[in-house]
Structures are given as C-alpha cells and as structure tokens.
A and B are shown apart, each in its own frame.
Chain A
C-alpha cells in the first residue's frame, strides 16, 4: 500500500527533515505518527501526497513510485489520496455542499454523480442536514468533519490526516476520531500525525514514533511514548 525505502529529504535551507526512513503500511491499517515538533512528521506526511519530493529513496503508493512521478500526473495521484489538515482548509464563501462538490468538479464528474457522492460522504460524517450552511456557521468539529468528507468524496484508498484534532476541544476530538475509525473500518488506510497523547493511548493502534527525522519506534499496538 504505502512503502518507503531509505527516504531522505533536506530542505533548501539545509535543514535535514527526514533522514533514511524505511516503512511499510499495509492496506486497511490505522497508523499514528507521533513525535515532538520538528521530528519530521509533516515532511513524512507531505511526501505521501507529493507536496514534497524526496531527495533520495523511493516512495510507493499503490505501486506508483512518487519519486519518479511526473508533475502532470500528480493530480491523478491526489484523487486517490484524501488529505485532512488541522486548519480544515474550507473555502469560506462556498456552502458545505459546494465545498465537498468542489473536489469532484475538478475531475469533471457528472452532476448526478457529484450530488450522490456528496450526500453519501455527508451521511458518513453525519452532517447531511447542514449541506446548505456556510463553514463559519458550523462549529470547529463540524468543519473538520466537512473537511474529512471532502477528503473522502473521491473514495480514496488512503486518508492522510495532519493533526486533525489539533484545533479542537477534547470532546470534539473524540467525535473526529470516531469518524476516522469508521472510515478505517470501511477499508480505507488511515495515516494520522498527532500530538494527542490521550487519543493514542486510548484508541490503541500502530504507532510510528519519529525523532530528528528518523523512525525511533514502530509498535503495532503502541502507546504515545515520549514525554512531549
């Protein structure tokens, strides 16, 4: 599913973000990426949807080597990967429905298909009744659920979440986790970078711990571990 071999990435300012990562994430896994700020979590995640390109090594997503992927093929890769951010990244002037439909419009999907799939993912995140609302009329947790719905509307094989609960209060964070678990149970691979010790320790899944750009621990049913 996702495989990295000896991946290295140094930024132009000389900062070595990731140095020599080997990892395999199988289909349907749920993986936490943990570690202190500056450990390389974000770079690790950005390389998966080719926001960053490694200097060395290979990254396979579904047998596609991202290191060799041509720039013009990147959009088609992204349609098979859902990405969720800490700050939701919703467009404020579009309604909830339009925000999600946006992701399908770029692929020139038929109107009926768009409508059906948007309602489907809205059902998945349990916000069908808020389709006509604007993002700012929703709570933070609801906005994050919309952004998850948008990420899932392509029915991607992988969902990548970068600190999805970072801006949310504890109760809301649990709501988000239950949505992510549900998505994972339906067969989507979920990779989630997080600082939330409580979540990692409660919903025990595979934990990949990073420090100084390297993987320092990889437990199949792990704990948060480091004191950060």
Chain B
C-alpha cells in the first residue's frame, strides 16, 4: 500500500469516528468499562498469585523424632532424609531451641507459664525439611514418612492443598470473566459500528462499483476500530496506574495492613497496561471488521 493511501485510510477512520460522534462515544465507553474490569481483575489475580507463591515458599516439613531415639538414630534419620530426592535443605532443631521458639511466639505474658517446662521439656527434637519446589512438598513428605524413628510428620497438608485449589479456582474464574467481558465488548463495538454502517452502505456499494477491493474498503474500518479500542484503553490504563500506585503506597505505609504483601508497582502495572492496550486494540479491530463483513458481499 502506498503511503498516501495509508494516510487516506487513517484520515477516513478519524473522520468516521467524528461523524458518528455518539456511537463512537458508546463504543469507547464499552471498551473503557470492559478494560477497567479486566484490569482490576488482572491485578487481583496477579497479586493473589504473588502472595500464594510467597506462602507456598514458606511451606516446610517438620519431622518430629521419637522421644526414644538416641543420637545415633537421629543422625541416621538425618542422613536418610538427605538422600530423598528433591530435598532442598534440612535443619536440626533441638527440643530446647524448639521451646525457646515456642516461648517467643506466645508473648511475654504467658512466657513464665511455659518457662516451668524447661526441666521437663515435652517437645520432640525436629528436623525441618524444605523441598526444592513448594508443590513437591507432598511427595517428599511421603518419602520421609517411611523412615523409622519418626514420631510424627507435619507439613500443613490441608493448608497447602487448599492454597493450590484456591489459586486454581481464582485463575480459572478470572480467565472466564475476562474472556466473557472481552466478547461482550467486541459485540457491543460490532453492533455500534453496524448501526453507523447502515448510513455508509451506499458508500461501500459505490466503492465496490468503481472497483475498490475489499481490502481497500476494510482499511478505514480497521483504523476506526483500532482507534476506538486504543482510545477506550486510555482511561483504564491511567486508572490502573494511579489506583494501584496509591493502593501500594497506602498498604506499605499502613501498619495495620503490614501482612499484605502487594506486588511491586513496576513489575505489574506496566505489564497490565500493555495487556489492556492490546486487548483494547484487538477488541476494536475485531468488532469493526466484523460489522463490515456482511456489506462486502455485494
């Protein structure tokens, strides 16, 4: 295509947006609303994923040793555990240290109560084992459970399983919602442009009569759709960037919410923005070309 023809198509696309002012406004609004929801959802999913990964990484296996096991047995068990596949690290925690840890965690008021246990420490000696990958925890734990001198073994299996289940549900629900919204917006654009196209049917018919190729006729519509989509993505992108920055700052500064660990701004906001921009462009172009299709069959 020649440069001048390209310019013509771009100009025509812009003119058409202007000429069908309210319809264009409706299309852009549809894209804006859709992208806002999609954007918020993407951020939500990304953050849930992020937090999940953090939690998952904290998952550890606690191997409580038999109280009767002597030092030799403990060393043997330690070696056995080290030989299991996918074991990342093993830490030995003596029962006295375990008690210290426990007393620390209960706070000063109750500390005294448990100090009395010093002489008759009821706790087990513990190996703390970490798997190479969070999702390997269960397999590693099953392997370790076969060894002797183990009193009990705990890796929060229900917590791990629930976390994985929850993340999966969130991911699927998010994907379904995002796809559904995208299609809704596409059909909205397609129908809005279809309404304006009725007025342009004569123009298309004349173009065909004087020998315009379908490609030539389609280009202005392509441009128009592209611009509707791109314009529609401006507000959501701006809102996502400012909104998320504000949220991030608030959460980081607020002591109340310190347990929430949001994804850093740079990594996510710009990625989401690019995704929104691309979705907007695709939705616009698809909607527009879809509406012109049937008029090209003259």
Contact = CB atoms under 8 A, between A and B. Distances in A.
Interface of B is mostly: helix
A51 interface: yes
B211 A106 contact: yes
Nearest to A51: B298
Interface stretch (B108-116, B139-147, B199-207): B199-207
- Most interface-central of B1, B206, B212 (chain A CB within 10 A): B206
Nearest to A71: B214
A120 B228 CA distance: 40
B207 A106 contact: yes
A34 B43 CA distance: 70
A154 interface: yes
A72 B213 contact: yes
Given A108-B2, A108-B5, A89 B210 contact: no
A80 to B, nearest CB: 8
Interface string A48-66: 0101000000000000000
A209 interface: no
A185 interface: no
A184 B202 CA distance: 28
Given A75-B214, A78-B209, A89-B209, 18 more contacts: A49-B209, A72-B213, A75-B208, A75-B213, A76-B211, A78-B208, A89-B202, A91-B202, A91-B203, A103-B211, A105-B8, A106-B207, A106-B210, A106-B212, A108-B1, A108-B2, A108-B5, A154-B210
A168 B1 CA distance: 41
Contact of A102 (B1, B210, B213, B298): B210
Given A106-B216, A111-B4, A154 B211 contact: yes
11 contacts: A51-B298, A72-B213, A77-B211, A78-B211, A89-B205, A91-B202, A106-B207, A106-B210, A108-B1, A108-B4, A154-B211
A166 B208 CA distance: 23
Nearest to A89: B206
Contacts of A108: 1-2, 4-5
A74 B175 CA distance: 43
Interface in A98-128: 102-103, 105-108, 111
Given A51-B298, A89-B205, A91-B202, A107 B211 contact: yes
Nearest to A99: B206
Nearest to B19: A93
Interface string A5-28: 000000000000000000000000
Contacts of A83: 209
Closest 9 CB pairs of A and B: A106-B212, A79-B211, A103-B210, A78-B211, A75-B211, A75-B213, A108-B5, A106-B216, A108-B2
A214 interface: no
Nearest to B5: A108
- Most interface-central of B206, B210, B213 (chain A CB within 10 A): B210
Given A89-B206, A91-B206, A75 B212 contact: yes
A83 B206 CA distance: 10
A215 to B, nearest CB: 26
A89 B1 CA distance: 27
Contacts of A77: 211
Contacts of A145: none
A150 interface: yes
A203 B261 CA distance: 91
